Amino acid sequence: MTDTPTQLFIGGAWADAADGATMPVDDPATGEIIAHVADAGAKDAQRAEEAAVQAQEAWARTAPRVRSEILRRAYEIIVERTDELAHVMTAEMGKPLAEARGEVAYAAEFFRWFSEEAVRIEGGHGVLPDGRNRMLLARRPVGPCLLITPWNFPLAMGTRKIGPAIAAGCTMILKPAPQTPLSSLALAAILKEAGLPDGVLNVVTTSRAGEVCEPLLRGGRMRKLSFTGSTDVGRLLLAQSAEAVVRTSMELGGNAPFIVFGDADLDKAVDGAMVAKMRNMGEACTAANRFFVHSSVVKEFGRRLAERMGALVVGPGTRDGVDVGPLIDRVGRAKVEELVADAVERGARVLVGGRTPEGPGCFYPPTVLTDVAPDSRLMDTEIFGPVAAILTFDDEDEVIRRANDTPWGLVGYVFTEGLDRALRVSERLEVGMVGVNTGLVSNPAAPFGGVKQSGLGREGGRVGLDEFLEYQYLAVPVR
Ligand code: NAP
């Protein structure tokens, strides 16, 4: 950690905040402060904006191959430094080292994927209906971008935005979450080492998100907002972006249904549930929030899931053999405790877990609740913790209606051995992604994103690059 930068990264140089402010970064496993990083204010945001705007024109004209190779080199450095980056991530966020290494690999893959896409940006040519005019379609970078990321995947949420922005030829300001600034600063150092020109990426760490971001969005010099975070904050930022008609990509919250039909292979369903629920300690937008299990298998599914969840080892992410680290902070843990208490008050039975341990750190045990009442608060709140809430259903139409009965629509999971049913149900779920007999949908080559209040646009895949590109149409008459 001693080598991880703690200053702002603006115009290719490291700098303190203009007013000298710093903010502490805690280890959620111990509550101890592990670093103090620069805490940017409005003046720093202006400097970052200036750097991004100044760098834009030359960067847009840089050869695609050059942009591609910078990303490729950064991918290689990230892979070489997997262990170092994983330790930084575990220290500031809490996830076990094995999961942190997994996130480093996932994060690096976005750079590899977009390094390959950077040289395949294609426009078009057409003859217009009058037969005389020709249409040339050029793709151009959208311009300087503001990228705002959450704390739950400190590295991957950054590379998922920075990768396509670099590939497209956009400059950017990254504002990471205040709980996890170190991973983003380490990433900036890697991109500098990989040859990224000054000003293309600027990182402002801050505890004053509104003060830093609102003027950037309202000012109109930033031409794009790419945000990952909660729906409430997303809604506010959409309103701020409206004034200067800033283009937006919004990756927001979820409330994923996980549906197990009577004909499901229960081994696959329980394996899938462990991933969909326990990846990142349940602190994922893709986390299964509502388990709908057919009445013919609900008892057996609950028993097996409780057995697997109960066997997980909870502890500091740096300790060998630990499966489940601490939650991000005490506020996050208190929310989980309240949701469980509310469900139990309304009749849910606790099959395993459900009790906050004594001692330091923000730990919460893997928990399975069954007989959860449909009016429980956790049915329409992202739990964001290791709690599986099981409800029973009998009929396909009924479960689809209940699964869709939410303002969110990020991802759903369907477990059945019937291909017809898998396709029929997937097509009727109001979500952007479906895991069919799998609990994991995330992949850098696939378009990630949601419908309804889970967001606008997609990240990853080929379409992830489109989010950072405009079309320019040239009318060319041929006489
Ligand atoms: P959050 O509270 O919405 O914060 C996300 C980011 O927005 C943070 O950097 C935060 O900084 C910043 N922010 C908050 N208010 C702001 C404002 N007024 N102006 C500018 N920036 C502002 O979400 P979170 O608690 O970090 O993350 C959890 C949420 O992210 C969950 O809802 C989860 O589902 C969602 N998520 C979605 C995806 C996806 O791809 N769909 C992926 C991961 C997470 P401050 O903390 O300083 O306010």
- 444 within 8 A of 113, measured Cβ to Cβ: yes
Ligand 1 center–CA 24 separation, angstroms: 19
* pLDDT at residue number 2: 61
d(CA 121, CA 275): 35
Among 259, 266, 289, 284, which residue's Cα sits nearest to residue 434?
Answer: 259
For ligand 1, whether the C-beta of 408 sits within 6 Å is: no
- 233 within 8 A of 241, measured Cβ to Cβ: no
Strand partners, 248: 225
For ligand 1, whether the C-beta of 148 sits within 6 Å is: yes
- 5 within 8 A of 188, measured Cβ to Cβ: yes
Instruction: For Cα atoms 144, 145, 146, give the angle at the middle one, nearest 5 degrees.
Output: 135
* pLDDT at residue number 3: 87
* pLDDT at residue number 1: 62
DSSP code of 154? Answer: T
- 121 within 8 A of 466, measured Cβ to Cβ: no
Ligand 1, atom nearest to 207 Cα: 47
Residue minimizing CA distance to atom 43 of ligand 1:
285
d(CA 444, CA 448): 8
Ligand 1 center–CA 181 separation, angstroms: 13
Q: Is 251 a catalytic residue?
A: yes
| Phi-psi sector, 278: left (phi>0), alpha (psi -120 to 50), beta | alpha
For ligand 1, whether the C-beta of 239 sits within 6 Å is: no
Ligand 1 center–CA 150 separation, angstroms: 4
d(CA 287, CA 413): 10
Q: What is the length of the chain?
A: 479
Pocket test for ligand 1, best of 205, 228, 255, 452 (most atoms within 8 A of CB): 228
DSSP 328-392: S-HHHHHHHHHHHHHHHHTT-EEEE---PPSSSS-----EEEES--TTSGGGSS---SSEEEEEE
Residue minimizing CA distance to atom 11 of ligand 1:
177
State the first-to-last Cα distance of the chain, in angstroms, to the nearest integer: 66
d(CA 456, CA 466): 13
For ligand 1, whether the C-beta of 60 sits within 6 Å is: no
For ligand 1, whether the C-beta of 229 sits within 6 Å is: yes
* pLDDT at residue number 209: 98
Question: Which stretches in the chain have pLDDT values below 50?
Answer: none
Residue minimizing CA distance to atom 19 of ligand 1:
210
Among 413, 391, 377, 408, which residue's Cα sits nearest to residue 279?
Answer: 413
d(CA 416, CA 5): 48
Q: What is the pTM (predicted TM-score) of this model?
A: 0.98
Residue minimizing CA distance to atom 30 of ligand 1:
229
Pocket test for ligand 1, best of 39, 148, 328 (most atoms within 8 A of CB): 148
Pocket test for ligand 1, best of 147, 205, 285 (most atoms within 8 A of CB): 285
Ligand 1 center–CA 232 separation, angstroms: 9
DSSP code of 312? Answer: P
Residue minimizing CA distance to atom 48 of ligand 1:
209
Strand partners, 14: 9
Q: How many CB atoms lie within 10 A of CB 126?
A: 11
Tokens representing 185 are 């600063």
Which residues make Cβ contacts (< 8 Å) with residue 195, sequence separation at least 6?
Answer: 69, 70, 73
Pairing assessment for the beta strands 13-15 and 8-10 based on DSSP bridges: antiparallel
Can you tell me whether residue 259 is helix, strand or coil? strand
Among 374, 439, 441, which residue's Cα sits nearest to residue 401?
Answer: 374
Among candidate residues 109, 251, 283, 459, the one labeled active-site is 251
For ligand 1, whether the C-beta of 409 sits within 6 Å is: no
Tokens representing 67 are 């942009």
Ligand 1 center–CA 285 separation, angstroms: 11
The dihedrals phi and psi of 437, each to the nearest 5 degrees, come to 60, 30
Burial of 149 (0-12, 13-18, 19+ CB in 10 A): buried
For ligand 1, whether the C-beta of 233 sits within 6 Å is: yes
Query: From start to end of 385-446, where are the E strands?
Result: 387-393, 408-409, 411-415, 433-436
Tokens 């060319």 correspond to 476
Tokens representing 298 are 């609900």
d(CA 11, CA 56): 12
For ligand 1, whether the C-beta of 283 sits within 6 Å is: no
Ligand 1 center–CA 158 separation, angstroms: 12
Ligand 1 center–CA 419 separation, angstroms: 37
Among 290, 111, 100, which residue's Cα sits nearest to residue 182?
Answer: 100
